[in-house]
Homo-oligomer: A and B are copies of this chain.
Amino acid sequence: MIETLSRIGEFGLIERIDRLLKKEGVPGSGLTLGLGDDCAAIRPRPGADLLVTCDAFVEGRHYLPERISSFDLGRRAMTANISDIGAMGGWPLYALVSLGLKAETPVGDIEELYRGFLFELNPLGAAVIGGNLTKSETPFIDITLIGEVEPADMVRRSTAKAGDVILVTGWPGQAAAGLGLVLAAPADADLDSEPLVGYYRTPGHRVREGRAIGRSHLATAMIDTSDGLLGDLGHICQDSRVGAELFMEKLPVSAELRSAAKRLGKDPYELLLADSDDYELIVACRPEHVEGIEQVVAEVGQAPSAVIGRLTDELGIRLKWPDGRITQTEAVGWDHFKANKVKS
């Protein structure tokens, strides 16, 4: 018989999670009081600012439970939050996890979800320090992540200037293509050998790159691509009051993305620019610092970084094609109340 939440109850589940975290998690540094009181208590490191972000994953909206394992879902949800801390040049320290769950959920699934959280947090030395559990007909995972940053190293989205170069890390759009492949396949298809499906299930974050860029003081602005590359570039443009030109031939379209787009009958540029579905970094810097940024990114990880455009005085985002054509585009990103597909 499967052990469900309704059998062990809220406090039974809290005990189980508590045990799992103590055994499989890392102890939070600077934590004076963790799980098991009305609040968690933190002793901030003198001189550091704290960064706080939260991001929710709602079943049917951000994920389809039959298409992703609990472990991968935990990784994905935590990655989204880690990415936000990284995009400010910070480092994650403490997570609070608030879950809305169905009573009939197997306890083992919740444990796997937490193992997914820890898989992402442990290597960073970050810990789950609290949270909330409640019943909900529509399950959700809502994570608040607290990180730290040296005040001088913090990178905002509103401080870019016209003339800055735009770089992007990694391979945006590959996760979106992976999601497309998942949705196009029969529910019982084995997609483990599809590399882009792996990108979708566990897209990774760039917190090491983000912190290194922050410490280098070479970036003028930074943001992650969680609302889509164009959408988030749009946030930089709006908040910094600049426009942008993208060099289409410079966009990092991989052979896998091109092939998946073909199979899906989609434009690879749409997957890359509009859907993204991953947690890459968009970085703006003065032209003389491009090499410095590229070097910093290369030093801390395997992700490539590519120059994809430049910021302009003229507002709006324009796409420059190899044949000289220029098309105007809206900063189309993800909007939770207007869009309808599954978004992760």
Question: Could you list which residues of chain A lie within 8 angstroms of chain B, going by C-beta atoms?
Answer: 5-6, 8-11, 13, 32-33, 36-44, 46, 49-56, 58, 60-62, 84-85, 87-88, 90, 94, 96, 98, 100-101, 103, 129-138, 140, 142, 144, 146-147, 149, 151, 154, 156-158, 223-224, 239, 334-338
In the complex the two chains form, is B335's CB within 8 Å of A10's CB?
A: yes
Also in contact, A38 and B223, with CB within 8 A (given A56-B142, A58-B134): yes
In the complex the two chains form, is B98's CB within 8 Å of A54's CB?
A: yes
In the complex the two chains form, is A40's CB within 8 Å of B13's CB?
A: no
Q: Say which residue of B56, B138, B335 sits within 8 Å of A98 (CB atoms).
A: B56
Find the B residue at minimum CB distance from A99: B56
Residues from chain B with a CB closer than 8 A to the CB of A11 are: 335
Find the B residue at minimum CB distance from A62: B134
Known pairs A10-B334, A56-B98 / 19 extra A-B pairs, C-beta < 8 Å: A10-B336, A37-B88, A37-B156, A37-B158, A38-B87, A38-B88, A41-B49, A41-B51, A41-B154, A43-B50, A50-B50, A52-B94, A56-B142, A58-B100, A58-B134, A134-B336, A136-B138, A137-B138, A144-B144
CA distance A140 to B57 in the complex (A): 12
In the complex the two chains form, is A156's CB within 8 Å of B33's CB?
A: yes
List 30 contacting pairs A-B, 8 Å CB cutoff, sorted by A: A6-B337, A8-B337, A9-B335, A9-B337, A10-B337, A13-B337, A36-B157, A39-B87, A39-B90, A40-B53, A41-B154, A42-B49, A42-B51, A46-B46, A50-B50, A52-B96, A54-B96, A54-B132, A55-B132, A58-B100, A58-B135, A60-B137, A61-B136, A100-B140, A103-B337, A133-B336, A135-B337, A136-B138, A137-B138, A144-B144
In the complex the two chains form, is A39's CB within 8 Å of B5's CB?
A: no
Q: Say which residue of B87, B88, B130 sits within 8 Å of A52 (CB atoms).
A: B130
Find the B residue at minimum CB distance from A221: B37
In the complex the two chains form, is B39's CB within 8 Å of A147's CB?
A: yes
In the complex the two chains form, is B54's CB within 8 Å of A239's CB?
A: no
Task: Count chain B CB atoms within 10 A of each CB in A33, A41, A46 and give the residue with the most.
Answer: A41
Residues from chain B with a CB closer than 8 A to the CB of A39 are: 51-53, 84-85, 87-88, 90, 147
In the complex the two chains form, is B131's CB within 8 Å of A54's CB?
A: yes
Residues from chain B with a CB closer than 8 A to the CB of A32 are: 49, 151, 154
Residues from chain B with a CB closer than 8 A to the CB of A136 are: 58, 61, 138, 140
